[in-house]
Amino acid sequence: MKTFKQIVLAATLLCGMQGAYAQPSTQAPTPTHAPSDVISTFSDYYTNVGKSLEPVTSWAQNPITTIETYFSNDKVAKVPTGDSPVNTSGWNGQTKGYIHMDVYATSASATFYYGIANGYDLNGKYPTSAFVWPALKANQWVSVDVPMAEFIKGGFNKDQNIQGFRFRTAGGPVYIDNIYAYGYLDPGELPVEEADIPQAPQPLHSQADVRAVFSDSYTLATKGYKPQTFGGIIGKILPVKGFPNDQVVEFKTLGTSLATIDTWKITGLIIHVDVYHKSDGDGSFSFGLCSQDWSGNQIKQIPGDQWNWDIISEGEWVGLDVPAYLFADAGVNLEQITQIKFFGSGLFYIDNLYAYAGQILNRDATLKSLSITSAELAPGFSGNVTEYETRVAEGVASVTINAEVNAVTSHLTGTGVKTLTADYNEFEVVVTAEAGNTKTYKIIVNRGEPKDNNATLRSLVVSNGVGTTYTPTPAFNPGVAALTYNVPADLAFVVVEAVTGSDKATFSGLSGLGFETLQPGVNPINIVVTAESGLKRTYALTINRGGGNAIRDVKAAPVLVKTGNGVLEASFEGSAHIRLYTVTGQLIDQTVANGAYVHPVGRGVYILSVDGGITKVLVK
C-alpha cells in the first residue's frame, strides 16, 4: 500500500511539473492591424470590439479548449490534441477579408488547422485544399491568416455570423492568442452562387392588378423584400442558373425564415407565391404575415381548419394562391403588413410573391382515372404518377385511351382511339387546369413480343473523306441529341459515317449519311435511327462551315462541265482552286487551273469543287 501511494504522489508531481512548463515561453506578438480595421473575438490588445471565446464543456466526447492566464494578465487559449469545438456566438468577423490567429506550439511536429461554423452544432466549414496552412515552429508564435473567401468556398454561409470554431490539433496542446478578423472581403474572390433550378412560370396577372413584393415580372413592384438574420434561417436571393436577371429566394433548410417587406396593402386581394421544393424534408410549406411590429413575434398563421396547405411536390414549380381575408380573420391588419415568415421542411425556392385582384383559378391538373382498352397499365393508376406502360398482342391495330379529369374546370387532350403504327408507341394525355398549368401523362404501348428498343448510335464520325476527322461539341456519346462541328471555310463537303448501337436498329434511308455537300455557314444534318421496336431517335448535327464566326461567302463561279471519251472537262472564268472527289469523298485530284480543267475519269459519280462551288458530275 505504501508503494502505491508513492507512485500516485510521484505521478501527481510529474503531471504538475509538465503543466507548469507546458505554456508559451513568450507572449504573443503585439498585433499590428489598425483597430479601426479589426473585428476581434479573443485578444487583450483589441478592446474596442469583439466577443470572447466560450469553451464548450458540455460535449464530453470532445477535448476541451481552456482559457489560461499567463504573464500575470495575458489570456491565451490552450487547445488540446483532437477536435475541440469553441463557441464565439454572433461574431461578425465574416464581413472581413481574413481571420488572424497567433499560434504557439512546443514542438515543430505539432499541427493545427480549424474550421468556422454558422450554427451551434459546430459543423465546421474548412478552407479548400488550395489553402496551405503554415507550419508550426517549436516554442515560437506563428501568424496564421486565413482568407475568409476560403471558408466561404468551403461552404460557410457569409450571410450569417460566426457561431464557433472547430480547432483541430495533433501533437498538442497548441496555444492561441489574438483571434480577430481584418481587411477587405473582395466579392470578386467569392464563388458565384446560383439556384440550380428551372425558372418559375411567367406570372399572367396584369401589372395594374398586382402589388408585388418579390418578382422580376412586375417592374412597379415594391421590391421591399429583406431577408432577416433572426428568427430562423436566412432566405438567400440568388439568380437562377443561366438566367442572371431572374432572381429567386433560396431557403436552404427551412425551418422558418423571416423577411421584412415594405408596407404591403392587400385588402381584398389574393396572395400568390411560386414555390419550388428541390429536395430534403417532407415538402410541407406555408407562410404567415405580421402587421404589428418588427420583432417577428406577432406573425399570424391561418388556422389549419380554414386553409389546407398542400404538400409541395418535389422538382416542380407550384403556385400558391391564398385569399388575404383569411389572414385578416387571423388578426392581421391587411393595410399594414410589414413581415412575412415562411415555414416548411426541405430545400425550397420561391419567386413571384405578390398580391392580385381577381379570383382564384383552379390549379388541379390531375386525372381522376386513366385506362386503355384490352390492357392493364403498369403501375396501377394514381393521379400523381405520370408515366405508364403496357403491352398488347401482336397484330392489334389500335387502342382506346380513356381518362377523366379530377376538376371539372380542367381541359383534357390525348384520349380516344390511337393507331399503333409500330411495336413501340408513345401517347400523351395532357390536362390543362383552369389556371393554365398542365400535367402530362405518358403511356407507352408495346405491341407483340418484347423487341429491342435501342435506337442509339454506337459511333459517329464526320470527316473530310481523306483522313481528317472533326470533333463535335459536345463530344459524341450515344445519349447526345445535338452535335455541332466547326469545319474550315473552304471545306465543300463532309463524309458522315455512323454505326447503330444495336444490330437490329436501322437508319431511315441514307439521309444524313455518306457524302454531304456543305453551304457556307450553317448546315443542318439529321440522322434518324429506328430501333427494332419502332422507337426513333434523331441525332441533329450542325456543320458550321467557317468555324462559327469566320463564315465566308463562297461565290460559285459559273462552271460548264462536259464528259465523254473518259475525260471530264470543266471551263470557268479566271484562276480557280480545283478539287475532284469520288462520291464517297475520296480526293482524286487538286490543283489550281486557269479557265479550264481536264482530268481522265471512269464511269461513276464525281464531285467537282471549283473555288468551293460544288458540281455533281455523272459519267456514263
Count of residues that interact with Ca ion, criterion CB under 5 A: 8
Q: For cell 418578382, what's the residue?
A: 215
Smaller CB separation from Ca ion, 75 or 252: 75
246 binds Ca ion (CB under 5 A): yes
Measured CA to CA, the distance from residue 178 to residue 82 in angstroms comes to 21
Smaller CB separation from Ca ion, 194 or 246: 246
CB of residue 200 to Ca ion, shortest distance in Å: 6
- For residue 465, the Cα-to-chain-centroid distance in whole angstroms is 41
Q: For cell 446560383, what's the residue?
A: 194
CB of residue 248 to Ca ion, shortest distance in Å: 5
- The residue from 49, 54, 55, 74 that contacts Ca ion (CB under 5 A) is 74
CB of residue 151 to Ca ion, shortest distance in Å: 23
CB of residue 320 to Ca ion, shortest distance in Å: 16
CA atoms within 13 A on the CB side of 326: 16
CB of residue 19 to Ca ion, shortest distance in Å: 19
Smaller CB separation from Ca ion, 212 or 580: 212
Measured CA to CA, the distance from residue 112 to residue 135 in angstroms comes to 8
68 binds Ca ion (CB under 5 A): no
Name residues whose C-beta falls within 8 Å of residue 401's C-beta, 6 or more positions apart in sequence.
Answer: 370, 371, 372, 414, 415, 416, 418, 427, 429, 443
- The residue from 150, 274, 351, 423 that contacts Ca ion (CB under 5 A) is 351
250 binds Ca ion (CB under 5 A): no
613-546-468 Cα angle (round to 5): 85
Question: By the 8 A CB rule, do 91 and 143 touch?
Answer: no
Name residues whose C-beta falls within 8 Å of residue 357's C-beta, 6 or more positions apart in sequence.
Answer: 209, 268, 269, 270
274 binds Ca ion (CB under 5 A): no
Question: By the 8 A CB rule, do 262 and 234 touch?
Answer: no
75 binds Ca ion (CB under 5 A): yes
Measured CA to CA, the distance from residue 55 to residue 112 in angstroms comes to 17
332 exposure class (CB count in 10 Å sphere: 0-12, 13-18, 19+)? buried
How many CB atoms are closer than 10 A to CB 162?
A: 27
- The residue from 216, 274, 364, 423 that contacts Ca ion (CB under 5 A) is 216
CB of residue 475 to Ca ion, shortest distance in Å: 34
223 binds Ca ion (CB under 5 A): no
Smaller CB separation from Ca ion, 350 or 529: 350
- The residue from 38, 78, 151, 177 that contacts Ca ion (CB under 5 A) is 177
Smaller CB separation from Ca ion, 68 or 329: 68
Smaller CB separation from Ca ion, 47 or 565: 47
CB of residue 436 to Ca ion, shortest distance in Å: 18
Smaller CB separation from Ca ion, 318 or 457: 318
**CA-based nearest residue to 614, from 562, 568, 573, 556:** 556
CB of residue 122 to Ca ion, shortest distance in Å: 23
DSSP for 250-264? Answer: EEEEEEEEEEEEEEE
For the chain, what is the largest distance between any 2 Cα atoms, rounded to a whole number of angstroms? 126
CB of residue 558 to Ca ion, shortest distance in Å: 57
Question: By the 8 A CB rule, do 465 and 584 touch?
Answer: yes
CB of residue 40 to Ca ion, shortest distance in Å: 11
DSSP SS3 for 137? coil
Instruction: Lay out the site mask for Ca ion across 302-341 (x = CB under 5 A, - = otherwise).
Output: ----------------------------------------
Q: Segment contacting Ca ion (CB under 5 A): 5-13, 72-80, 259-267, 370-378?
A: 72-80
- The residue from 44, 314, 321, 434 that contacts Ca ion (CB under 5 A) is 44
Q: What does the binding site for Ca ion look like in residue numbers (CB under 5 A)?
A: 44, 74-75, 177, 216, 246-247, 351
